């Protein structure tokens, strides 16, 4: 059994991943802005508060990563009027999270991205590509 932190657990892909991991008997920790809704959806999971629009400093993630073996990031926003929000959610906050993870016992990072993003020049694709490049330089296998 592993302890797995899931970001984006209530989304389309994240909810399927969360259900599967709970069914397999893993300890699942969901990080969410809406703790009550997430807890209601996954009563067997532990739910902690996080806000991808504000948690852009590694120090806020350190205590949240205590005891975590694996991070699975399923967060994704394809379009938003506020283009900075897309960069914060896809790059700045995950970058802080992954930097914090390097200071902990996290063994693996699984980051959901998109296919062929290097061929697209919108903020979604470019921000996803940017965090992939960050991950290539972390000390944790991804």
pLDDT in the model for residue 82: 86
pLDDT in the model for residue 40: 98
Torsion of the alpha carbons at 82, 89, 51 and 23, rounded to the nearest 10: 130
pLDDT in the model for residue 55: 95
Kindly indicate the confidence band of residue 116, based on its pLDDT and cuts at 50, 70 and 90.
confident
Architecture of the domain made up of 3-136: 3-Layer(aba) Sandwich (3.40)
Question: Per-residue pLDDT tens for 82-110?
Answer: 888 899 999 999 999 999 999 999 999 99
Kindly indicate the confidence band of residue 124, based on its pLDDT and cuts at 50, 70 and 90.
confident
DSSP letter for each residue of 12-60: HHHHHHHHHHHHTT-EEEEEES-HHHHHHH-TTSEEEE--TTT--SHHH
Full-model pTM: 0.93
**72 pLDDT above the threshold of 90:** yes
What contacts 5, CB < 8 A, 6 or more positions away?
29, 30, 31, 64, 65, 68, 70, 71, 72
Give the pair of three-digit tokens for residue 13: 């892909």
pLDDT in the model for residue 97: 97
Higher pLDDT, 22 or 119: 22
User: What distances in angstroms separate CA 122 from CA 34, 74, 106, 115, one per listed residue?
Assistant: 28, 19, 32, 14
**46 pLDDT above the threshold of 90:** yes
Sign of CA dihedral 47, 49, 53, 55: negative
User: What distances in angstroms separate CA 123 from CA 56, 58, 106, 128, one per listed residue?
Assistant: 18, 23, 29, 8
Half-sphere exposure of 114 (CA within 13 A, CB side): 19
Question: Per-residue pLDDT tens for 26-38?
Answer: 999 999 999 999 9
Mean pLDDT value of segment 50-60: 94
**142 pLDDT above the threshold of 90:** no
């Amino acid at each position: 059994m592993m302890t797995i932190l899931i970001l984006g657990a209530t989304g389309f892909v994240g909810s399927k991943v969360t259900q599967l991991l709970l069914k397999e008997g893993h300890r699942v920790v969901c990080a969410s802005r809406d703790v009550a809704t997430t807890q209601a959806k996954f009563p067997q999971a532990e739910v902690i508060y996080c806000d991808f629009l504000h948690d852009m400093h590694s120090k806020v993630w350190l205590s949240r990563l205590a005891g975590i073996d694996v991070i699975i990031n399923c967060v994704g926003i394809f379009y938003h009027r506020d283009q900075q929000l897309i960069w914060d959610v896809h790059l700045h906050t995950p970058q802080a999270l992954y930097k914090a993870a390097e200071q902990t016992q996290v063994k693996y990072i699984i980051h959901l991205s998109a296919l062929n993003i290097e061929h697209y020049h919108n903020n979604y694709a470019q921000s996803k590509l940017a965090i992939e490049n960050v991950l290539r330089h972390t000390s944790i296998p991804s």
